[in-house]
Amino acid sequence: MENNVIQSGEIIRYRKFLGNKTLNLKRGVDFGFCVPEFVALPATISKRLFLDKKFRDQVVNEIIKNTQYKSYAVRSSALIEDGKNESLAGKFLTKINITKNKLEYAVYEVLKQAEARGDLKKFSVIIQKYILPNISGVTFTRDPKGGREMVVEYAYCTGEKIVGGETKPRRISFYWHDIFPKDLPEEFIANNIIEKFKKIEKEYEFPQDIEWCIRDNKFYLLQTRPISTISDKQYEQIIFLEKNFSQKEKYYFAKTEVSETSPRPTNFTFDILRSIYMENGPVDRVYKKYGIDYQNTDFLKIIGNELYVDKEKEIISLLPAYTYFKNKYFLPRFSRFSRSLATIKNLFFLNMIRGVNHKILFNKLKIKIEDNQSITDLRTAIKNFLIDYELVFEINLLSGISIKRLESMIKKEPFSFLKIIGSNSIFSVSDKYNMQIPAGLKGNSLDMIDESEFVAAYNDEKKEDRELIVWWNSVPDYKKYFLKDKIKGVVIFHRLRELGRWLTVKNINIIRRILLVLAEKNKFQNKRDIYFSSMKDVLQDKINEETFVGRREDYKKYNHFIFPKTITSSIVAGKFETCGVSSGLAEGVLWTSEKIEKEKEGDKKAILYTEVLSPDLARYFNRIGGILSNNGSLLSHLAILARERSIPVVVGFSLDKSAVKIGDKIRMDGDTGEITKL
């Protein structure tokens, strides 16, 4: 009965009448995997099979005659099923462990359910030899949320109980290069099962959702489909990371506050960043001032074109006896006795840092920001930047310490830390910490390529918060005595940090202007190609636009990548937590910056999602009601800008780990960090 029952050898010939499930199984056979024998019923006969019992009996009897299996599985194979963008997993009926005398009715049941859900002309059926499993499992060769890890679930039952949620299987996750856990069934080791899963992904050339079983110590591939929640871009990122990181050495890279200053630094910007942390640079000089020994461990790293911090190298720069690699959670631990004295000394002097005269720091900033001397020499401009950044870094250091101390003092109070320090009605910054914004500034970050409109965080509008005032009036006088100066100090430091950003942007503007003049003198077709020069290139007069264009093109190759917040050598078991860093409530649709760019006037009710709290995002303030970010902290410059503008911000939010997606309407609380899908 040609065209009614299609044997595996005929699959390709009739592929347009068969679903992806059938085609994927045929490919599995061709790749050499052990697939239970099967035949396919094409979509061309599905409607007749459903309506005509005589015809159905005839087809089923032919299958039984040619197969003689002890029992059968009847599976859907819709032409719209198991696609790369949508799997429709579990939508259609599967009948398992069916005896010969019940096979005709099982086929009818599968077709009946399919007919109620759609067009039978787009529905084919698989009749497969049923394997009664000793162990059943489902494997995602990559985490469906876009991670690099493989996820395996297995149990001593049928696979349908796992995918149907009827049993709680054991779940294990691991990177491809990890050593496989030892306490697993012998059948896994005997079948080299993990290598089989890896081979399936490689043969199908995309992450796979695999259903499998083991019977009598033999591995069977039951079905495989692409993981529809992983995009081509995400898979490309996964492959990139695996190719560019050692499988033998431990590593821990993270996007930190440093990353926020320049999320995707050009070559020249990266050289500027490295200069900040060099020996006898601004960071080194500030630490020496407070008796702390700092070592330049070169902890900045570019991955693709994104800026990361090597956390192990970073901690060693100040606490050389510590490591992140002593536990699976990547938490810092003491590990090197040979460096313990240097570590204890630095910890002692860090804890000895006490209050400072805010007015002196402000006056230093004011003098530097208002200095209008014209600088045209690049060496001088870089030297001035590094001298000025010493003051900026000192303010940032002192600000962080003052916040930690205040947080510990008010953690039991009835209001959030943010609400208390954000109150202009009680703890306002007086006019003596105000100054004029420098004219003509471009950009909001440390990046040469950032030429966005400069946005300043200045908002001295007095907003009364009656609840906060009532609380403050109820605080005992002795407690007020200790709290008032500490709270005011933090508020002033927030202003000083913002002024420090002004000074940084001013210096970057000077350096940028000099670079553009050099590009013009060297007759560049695109003056901004010079941002992809190195500092050494320019200072040694090795200015070649062709070379810089090549670097720009290499840089642009990675613009579509958005790598994870952390990149580690093994999976970090951590709790997903969001945290408010700017007070307030907001409701709106969650948008990306790309969506906001497309809107001419924006939507004040929109919530912006971003990976990094980069200061240049301040250009969207007039078009959004709040911000959700994967990375960031209370000390992030954008968080400070947002607090001054009463725009709520929540950090620690990951699209991969949340039920909230782009396009959803949400409510966000910038005090508690709570996110609610509306």
Give the integer Cα–Cα distance in Å for 298 and 284. 13
- Over residues 72-81, the mean pLDDT reads 84
Give residue limits of the domains in the chain. 1-130, 134-244, 354-543, 575-677
* Mean pLDDT taken over the chain: 88
Confidence of residue 87 (pLDDT cuts 50, 70, 90): very low
How would residue 484 be classed by pLDDT, with cut points 50, 70 and 90? confident
**pLDDT tens per residue across span 153-197:** 998 877 666 665 567 788 888 899 887 777 788 889 889 999 999
For residue 575, name the pLDDT band (cuts at 50, 70, 90): low
Q: Which fold has domain 134-244?
A: D-amino Acid Aminotransferase; Chain A, domain 1 (3.30.470)
Give mean pLDDT, residues 63-74.
Answer: 92
- The stretch 302-330 carries a mean pLDDT of 95
When the candidates are 3.40.50.2000, 3.40.50.2300, 3.50.30.10, 1.10.357.10, the CATH number that belongs to 575-677 is: 3.50.30.10
| Token duo for residue 330 | 């990547």
Distance CA 146, CA 230 (A): 6
Q: Is the pLDDT of residue 427 over 80?
A: no
**pLDDT score at 554:** 96
Q: Give per-residue pLDDT as tens, 538-559.
A: 999 999 999 999 999 999 999 9
Rounded Cα distance between 118 and 108, Å, is 15
Task: Map tokens 């969506």 to a residue.
Answer: 595
Q: How far apart are CA 555 and CA 123, in angstroms?
A: 46
385-425, pLDDT tens digit by residue? 999 999 999 999 999 999 888 888 888 887 777 777 766 66
Mean pLDDT of 33-62: 93
pLDDT interval class at 86 (50, 70, 90): low
Alpha-carbon radius of gyration of the chain: 31
Q: Would you place residue 507 in the very low, low, confident or very high pLDDT band (cuts 50, 70, 90)?
A: very high
User: How far apart are alpha carbons 276 and 286 in whole angstroms?
Assistant: 11
User: How much is the pLDDT for 460?
Assistant: 55
- Decide if pLDDT at 315 tops 70: yes
Is 391:368 a contact under the CB 8 Å cutoff?
Answer: yes
Count of all residues that appear for the chain in the document: 678
215 phi and psi angles, rounded to 5 deg: -135, 125
Confidence of residue 435 (pLDDT cuts 50, 70, 90): confident
Give the rounded distance of the alpha carbon of 55 from its chain centre. Answer: 55
pLDDT at 271 exceeding the cut of 90: yes
List the beta bridge partners of residue 223.
211
Pairing, β 649-651 against β 626-629? parallel
Residue 516 in this model has a pLDDT that exceeds 90? yes
Residue 180 is given by DSSP the state P
Q: Which amino acid is at 312?
A: E
In order of 370, 388, 434, 436, 508, the CA distances from 366 in angstroms are 6, 12, 9, 9, 17
The Cα 219–Cα 136 span in angstroms is 10
3-state secondary structure of 250: coil
CATH entry 3.40.50.2300 includes domain 1-130:
no
CB 175 within 8 A of CB 251: no
User: Which positions ≥6 away from 382 have C-beta within 8 Å?
Assistant: 272, 275, 511, 535
Residue pLDDT, tens place only, 217-260: 999 999 999 998 898 999 999 999 999 997 788 999 999 999 99
Q: How confident is the model at residue 609 (pLDDT cuts 50, 70, 90)?
A: very high
